[in-house]
Amino acid sequence: MNIATIGIDLAKNVFQLHGVNGHGKVVLRRQIHRGQMRGLFINLPPCLIGMEACASAHYWARTLESYGHRVRLIAPHFVKPYVKTHKTDATDAEAICEALSRPNMRFVPIKSIEQQSALSLHRVRQGFVRARTAQASGGKPTLLGISKRGDRYLRTLLVHGARSVIVRARKRDDEKGSWLKKLLERRHVNIATVALAHKTVRTVWAMLAHDREYCANYQSPPVAA
């Protein structure tokens, strides 16, 4: 059985597989239990494997790559357009396999154990912050005017970081003439928080794009009239 590409629909105990050969012909449709995964793929010739990105997908991606396979993780909303009929485990696995073959498909980087552990810690902290905020605001969420594009969790960290900087800046008397202090004098703290988060993003982008080191006293060149 010459398998080139396999789409795997992950579940708690039973996984659905959909495999095609190099010509796109279906050569594998099968359900297997979790305990059968290693035995099947360790004996399978190296092939391209796709899964929807989720917590367990990163674990299986690392495991299957250790067996010599190439693994790609796809965000679920990129798989959805390729589901041809009613949503089932079999159609999901087929859709993953088809999405995997698209030349312009965007994939999710596979996380290491350390990265997943750090992310779990951040998620727990985020839950505590959300619960505390709900208690303080009477259950009314505070919406900030920040772009919805990009990584949602990264935006959350940037805003939390900006809030922390603002708390510290308000306690320091030697920063009365700073950009942030001046902004806080004329705008609401939420607006200043988002503005600082945006400034942080622009600073990081400039450092990465132009291979520069951070300079706290850097002044932007004047704009020509």
Residue 223 has pLDDT above 50, yes or no: no
pLDDT tens-digit map of 116-148: 777 777 666 666 666 666 655 554 444 444 555
Cβ atoms < 10 Å from Cβ of 148:
6
pLDDT score of 30: 95
**For residue 18, what are the β-bridge partners?**
7, 29
pLDDT tens-digit map of 150-169: 667 777 888 888 888 888 88
* Whole-prediction pTM: 0.61
- What does the block give as tokens for 221? 């060149």
Residue 217 has pLDDT above 80, yes or no: no
Q: Which of 41, 42, 45 is nearest to 2 (CA)?
A: 45
Contact yes or no for 178/169 (Cβ under 8 A): yes
Contact yes or no for 13/34 (Cβ under 8 A): yes
pLDDT tens-digit map of 158-211: 888 888 888 888 877 655 557 888 888 888 888 888 888 888 888 888 887 888
Residue 218 has pLDDT above 60, yes or no: no
pLDDT tens-digit map of 53-66: 988 999 999 999 99
User: What whole-number distance in Å separates Cα of residue 192 and Cα of residue 196?
Assistant: 6
Of residues 75 and 156, more confidently modeled: 75
| pLDDT grade for 36, boundaries at 50, 70 and 90 | very high
pLDDT tens-digit map of 78-120: 999 999 888 899 999 999 999 999 999 999 999 988 887 777 7
E strand or H helix that includes residue 16? strand 14-20
